[in-house]
Structure 1
């Protein structure tokens, strides 16, 4: 019978160069909101760093490396406190972290998985402890493997790479600490964001977001929710060599430095095609690191940037070009104060009479490819053979999400590892798989020949919806006229409501039992849009003394009009943009 593993906790005191408090950075605002709204009791936003260790290291070498990491990067010794001025970050100058040391006869893959799962399970108490847990696996007292888990609030994807690199350096030198380099800290980032330069950055980003909000469909999924079997949210994991070959060929054709625009173009095209939309909205996880000092900083800088691509009059090559421009804009304008953008969203919603709280999906592209884009040009036969090796696996997801679908695309160069999170109330399991099959097929086809979007049907596995006369494309959005009438009925005491399209306007004719306050009616309709994907507030209300015998706009026009107008009032949409400069 083998010796059972033994575990002990080692207290590692740390002493940073400074402490301090300050407001949250924009990236911290974004991640804190996600954690608070979606994952308050979940491990869904914990990230794992595994570091294999070479032979000959001492436990003290590993402990020193971990201590140095925490002392150097203030994000790793920060807690978050709620105050009368909102949540603030507090950097702890001196304190203690705990390194668990588990000694086993052999450090197996199973043991590493068990330790990883144990450390990653459960949320961090962000107001009490630094967002870090660690375990050193040893065999016979010799260090073999280090696992560290961080909360995403402390480390975004780029920060994880920085942390992994610095911890891996312990295997290159077994004695001493690396000299401390000057690194950009979250408190310094918060100070920049409050500076005049930061205010100008916010204003530019909000103006760009406003232009997207005014042009985008209110949802990429204009459909009613369907029944589902638990769990509601599912992950489809796909590994595709064919997608990597095709994306590389297309990126080389367009002289792109990465394959991000190609993957974006594939997903946004399929999403638009599947829902009959010629403007396709797909949020991008933007790094938020344009300033040089942020390139290797540890912290949470990434945010969800609005992005929109016009699919009209294009082939796949043109969509890729448009997607590349869209990604550049998303990177440039993807940093912003979260409360101000939320206010801007609400203002444009009121302006347009729509609800864009859950417009569609997001793409998170992570580049792990070494050597970048190559000039390889695969043949159709090579792509077909590679597609036969694509693997598909469904796994359960966290039962919450901030969007209807999220594609995490890990580019390993030789293959793409895709993790597609879907809300099965709006994208059933079978359709979700068809989306990713379609992305792979259409990009493989586009890699070897021109592919106009008007000729997509043989290369995609989704069928565009067939909509009857009650559906109209209004303000870039598919609208169900019956659903709009339901919204108006729910908003006030009316005898009858009919909704028609007049040119570019959505007009509601109604006969009411009492005088109608159009401003109050519009506000009530706006509130009634919550949870609806197929309705919007009419652009104009026409209140008549009584209703005609038939539901026809010409018949309504014969009735006596007692009130007419849009019902618009309130704060102009530019206020959120200008407020960023105060």
Structure 2
């Protein structure tokens, strides 16, 4: 059944920074991918018939411009009026929700909402991620029962059109410059990937989401966070990063953290897309885990502070640093805290009750290791989406166990010496094949570098010195041209770095110094 909506305002504007971030992911995933849709089950207040529920949904769409927005040609267009099909269904609400979420939205001309009333007890609501993030969905869930009951609510004061205007102000431009400087400071020095070791044969469904259900971690994490003066989120994000860096044999843990970006008053209640990635990096130089976690807590605060930026400008920055470093900047390790400020109150729990399970698998994802922290009242739910070309299921579960083990040992002993982290975590660092070398923070395979040079530069004779100087016989005329060809060939590679110097046909550059020479981050 169609319901008609009519809002107070329509209009066009550029995409907000949050929308631009999501648009990039949607475009990368392809025209048929629906994994970024945002599904939610809204309970229907008892005694409400379907017509009353439809009226509540109409009021919800009228109130929030993001729910009646299309996204043509890289812009947002708020519809002043239109219609939404609200169907009635029977059966399992979760199954109906999954069915509605499995179809991609037509962003150019379709409303970004899909919903069904299921047996009069729940509304299966699915929105486009261009229009909502998890915080926005919580706002909708809080308002829906009151709207169904016919209650009056204060009108929203901030919408994506307002946010787009705010992001064009001088204050926002200054913040964007500061945020990009923060990203550059990490991109220049962090490992270009924490998983720079040889690929393995992936599983048929290449990406698998592994879960850990740990009442013990729910009891221990708040206790240790309070004792060490950090947040639970930064404690677990740092510990996950430490586990991943320990596995890969790195001295720095670099993760992308999902930032809700709802600190400022106008954005707190906005139904729209505000979340973006932040960049978190912590050096594992402190003598104990407590010191590393303290450093991680401060690093997390900086990451969240600078988690708002123009992603198109960040793309340009990444391209420049990628060229300077001669590396494909992988940075596909993530941590997302979805507890929404909720905290556990769990008594001491037995680690023997911890349960491990497979949540789902999928053939495509833009991640190598994606940790997600979810809330349940009586347990900690920690997941890792693992790229099985790099992490086996057993290794993925070992990473989850490592987080639990480090936190529990911190509670029991007060701290963990840095020299004991690998043993405490139960992690054995990856053993790379003989011949692999390290340049700054990065590992690479010299033979793979030589192969890339042969193919990209059509070189008949190639050698790569220990200092990443490449000698090649090729028709390529200049080091700059050789570097451009190599950079085009190593996208996504975690086993290859571009040479720091190119000596073509035995001739050094006339200046005596290759203009692409760099000393690493």
CA contact (8 A) 1:438 1:461 kept: yes
Select which of 448, 451, 454 maps to 2:416.
451
The answer on 1:93 being equivalent to 2:80 is: yes
1:426 aligns with 2:390: yes
Contact 2:478 2:504 in 1 (8 A): no
Q: Indicate conservation of the 8 Å contact 1:369/1:411, yes or no.
A: no
**1:390 offset after TM fit, Å?**
1.7
Question: Quick one: distance in 2 between partners of 1:286 and 1:239?
Answer: 24
Give the alignment partner of residue 535 of structure 1, picking from 496, 502, 507. Answer: 496
Q: 2:223·2:411 contact (CA, 8 Å) conserved in 1?
A: yes
Give runs of ≥4 in structure 1 deviating > 6 Å. Answer: 560-563
2:352 corresponds to 1:361: no
1:55 aligns with one of 17, 39, 46: 46
Aligned to 1:276: 249
Where 2:104 maps in the other structure, the secondary structure is: coil
More displaced, 195-204 or 361-370?
Answer: 361-370
Q: Deviations over 1:449-492 (max 9, x none)?
A: 22022112332233112346623321211122222333333343
2:430 to 440, 455, 465: 465
| Aligned partner of 1:239 among 201, 213, 218 | 213
Q: Measure, in 2, the Cα distance between the counterparts of 1:278 and 1:517.
A: 35
- Structure 2 SS opposite 1:215: coil
Q: Write the distance in 2 (CA, Å) between the matches of 1:29 and 1:515.
A: 38
Deviations 1:165-201 (A, max 9, x none): 0113347xx3x34144232100110111112112112
- Matched residue, 1:159: 136
Q: How does 1:491-530 map to 2 (within 5 A)?
A: 491-492=456-457, 494=459, 496-501=461-466, 506-510=467-471, 512=473, 516-530=477-491
1:262 matched to 2:226? The reply is: no
Out of 81, 87, 92, the residue aligned to residue 111 of structure 1 is: 92
1:65-464 equivalence runs, <5 A: 65-82=56-73, 87-102=74-89, 111-138=92-119, 143-170=120-147, 174=149, 176-256=150-230, 258-356=231-329, 358-368=330-340, 370=342, 372=343, 382-383=348-349, 385=350, 387-412=351-376, 414-449=378-413, 450-464=415-429
Q: Does the aligned pair in 1 maintain the 2:436–2:445 contact within 8 Å?
A: yes
Question: 1:523, 1:457 → 2: CA distance?
Answer: 39
1:551-570 to structure 2, matched below 5 A, reads 565-568=513-516
Please give the alpha-carbon distance, in whole angstroms, between the structure 2 residues aligned to 1:19 and 1:416. 43
Q: Secondary structure at the match of 1:125?
A: coil
Tell me the secondary structure at the aligned position of residue 121 of structure 2: strand
For 1:490, what is the secondary structure of its paired residue? helix
3-state SS, counterpart of residue 362 of structure 2: coil
> Is contact 2:286–2:292 with CA below 8 Å preserved after alignment?
no
The residue that corresponds to 2:7 in the other structure is: 16
CA RMSD across the alignment: 2.4
SS of the equivalent of 1:411 reads: strand
1:489 counterpart residue number = 454
Q: Is the 8 A contact 1:368 1:413 kept in 2?
A: no
| 1:101 partner SS | strand
Higher radius of gyration, 1 or 2:
1
Instruction: Answer yes or no: is the 8 Å Cα contact 2:333–2:370 preserved in 1.
Output: yes
Deviations 1:388-423 (A, max 9, x none): 212222143332212212112113353222232111
For 1:194, what is the secondary structure of its paired residue?
Answer: coil
Contact 1:280 1:308 (C-alpha < 8 Å) held by counterparts: yes
Cα separation, 1, equivalents of 2:107 and 2:172: 27
Q: Distance in 2 between matches of 1:45 and 1:407?
A: 16
Q: How does the TM-score come out when normalised to structure 1?
A: 0.83
Instruction: Answer yes or no: is the 8 Å Cα contact 1:522–1:566 preserved in 2.
Output: no
Superposed displacement of residue 277, structure 1: 0.2
Paired residues of 1:52 and 1:144 also in contact (CA < 8 A): yes
Structure 1 unaligned residues grouped into runs of 5+: 1-8, 105-109, 546-559, 570-582
Q: CA deviation at 1:369?
A: 5.9
Structure 2 SS opposite 1:307: strand
The residue matched to 2:465 in structure 1 has which SS? Answer: strand
Q: CA deviation at 1:218?
A: 1.1
Normalising by the residue count of structure 2, what TM-score does the alignment of the two structures yield?
A: 0.93
Measure how far apart 1:283 and its partner are.
0.4
Name the count of aligned residue pairs. Answer: 516
What is the CA distance between 1:151 and its match in structure 2? 1.6
Contact 1:231 1:396 in 2 (8 A): no
Deviates more, 1:211-220 or 1:456-465: 456-465
| SS class of match (2:488) | helix
Query: Would you say the 8 A contact 2:41–2:94 is kept in 1?
Result: no
Distance 2:383 2:117 in 1: 29
